[in-house]
Amino acid sequence: MAIVVPIKNDKIKLFEGVLSGIPHDCLIIVVSNSRRTLTDRYIMEMDVVKQFRKLTEREIIMTHQKDEALAKAFRKAGYTAILDDTDLVRSGKAEGMIVGIALAKLCGKTYVGFVDADNYMPGAIWEYVKDYGAGFLLSNSPYIMVRLAWKYKPKWTEEPYFKKTGRISERANVYMNLLISKNTGFETKIVRTTCAGDHAMTLKLAECLPFASGFAAETQELLAIFEMFGGILPTTIREAVQHGVDIFQIETANPHIHEERGDEHVTEVLLHSLSALYHSPLCSDEIKREIHKELIASRAVKPKEPLSKPEIIPPIAEMNFKQFQKAISIEAFTTF
Ligand code: GDD
């Protein structure tokens, strides 16, 4: 399994802890979009990785999302949807994840998992990766996704309070469940992980899913599975339907303690997630109206402002991988 760590200007201490929590047998792939001007945070991250690698002899690949050689390889592979108008890989967490998946494929991995770089508990990271493995072992299908439902998401005010969900998840889950309820005719609250950044997939599943830009990635993954294999819309990947696509939601033993980023960020992530839901062909007009009301109430959009569709990046399976492999040069990676 490869574990991808997307990072953008996170605290170096947290990044170091996250790396140390990843079980030894996994290949670590760090995809950074951290600041290179003023204080060059990528240099600091490289120092951490260099030291960690020296002490633990771990296999680590590290790249910067804005690396020209990386962008060139995607261009050669005809995968230009991931590039921005400066011809570099666009900023965004989903874009970082896609880079990670492509590198995991390049290294011949069967499984790819993601852990956020802003986690305060290295022991929780260790558990997350073990949970991914447990999920994979529960299924015989080559198309598996494991999403983590955090046991608690504590708030640290004067007294710690062990809340069950975060501010974004509790809203996004409502609409994901509504979408399933309305499409099946049976009310359900089954989805607890709409925004689970900590999740994993078989490479086989990861490479056939389209991704939504930025923070819509995790929401869009679920939607894409429902759209492509849910039996309501036509499918183009019959093999996956034959095997079945298994989604596991595993509740962690550890609480999830991560960086608190403030209201503006929470609104941005909620907007990305709900926009993906809004634009799904499975979303009815009634749910669209509810989503729009929710986003107006959270001041993510103005009344009457239309909800723009997230940028959809086509599946990795559609890129010319041989060309990518040929074009990707050692220059795209930080070597130690
Ligand atoms: N490479 C890369 N590029 N990493 C990024 C970028 C980017 O442009 N933007 C953010 N990240 C990294 C952050 O550094 C962090 O490690 C991780 O992605 C998650 O970002 P957060 O900003 O901490 O997300 P959150 O906790 O508020 O949002 C939650 O919900 C999102 C929506 O489903 C998390 O679970 C996210 O992982 C999730 O994407």
Out of 65, 215, 258, 275, mutate this one to test ligand 1's pocket (max ligand atoms within 8 Å of CB): namely: 215
Closest ligand 1 atom to residue 117 Cα is 16
* Residue found under tokens 């996956």: 240
Q: Residue 235: how many CA atoms within 13 Å on its side-chain side?
A: 19
Q: What is the pLDDT of residue 119?
A: 97
Give the end-to-end CA distance of the chain in Å, rounded to a whole number: 22
**Separation of 116 CA from ligand 1 center, angstroms?**
6
Distance of CA 128 to the CA centre of its chain: 14
pLDDT at position 77: 96
| Percent with pLDDT over 90 in the chain | 90
Instruction: Give 280 Cα–ligand 1 centroid separation in angstroms.
Output: 22
Rounded distance from Cα 241 to ligand 1 centre (Å):
31
Instruction: List, for residues 173-200, the tens digit of each pLDDT value.
Output: 999 999 999 999 999 999 999 999 999 9
Going from the Cα of 312 to the center of ligand 1, the distance in angstroms, rounded, reads 18
Structure confidence at residue 318 (pLDDT): 96
The minimum-distance atom of ligand 1 relative to the CA of 196 is 35
Over the stretch 101-139, which tens digit does the pLDDT of each residue have?
999 999 999 999 999 999 999 999 999 999 999 999 999
What is the CA(321)–ligand 1 centre distance, in A?
Answer: 26
**Probe target for ligand 1 pocket from 3, 8, 211, 223, with the most ligand atoms within 8 Å of CB:** 8
pLDDT at 166: 83
What's the pTM? 0.95
Q: Confidence class of residue 162 from pLDDT cuts 50, 70 and 90?
A: confident
CA-nearest residue for atom 6, ligand 1, is: 93
Closest CA to 4 of 25, 20, 26: 26
331 CA from centroid of ligand 1 (Å): 26
Q: What is the full DSSP assignment across 88-139?
A: SBPSSHHHHHHHHHHHHHHTT-SEEEE--TTBS-HHHHHHHHHHHHHHHHT-
Which of 129, 97, 102 is closest to 19 using CA atoms?
Answer: 129
Pocket probe mutation, ligand 1, options 13, 65, 116, 176, max atoms within 8 Å of Cβ? 116
Per-residue pLDDT band at 335 (split at 50, 70, 90): low
- Ligand 1, residues at Cβ distance < 6 Å: 6-8, 10, 31-33, 65, 91-93, 96, 116-118, 168, 195, 197, 215, 217-218, 258-259, 261, 265, 269, 273
pLDDT of residue 38: 84
Tokens matching residue 94: 């989903």
Which range is least confidently modeled, 16-25, 260-269, 314-323? 260-269
Residue nearest to atom 17 of ligand 1 (CA): 116
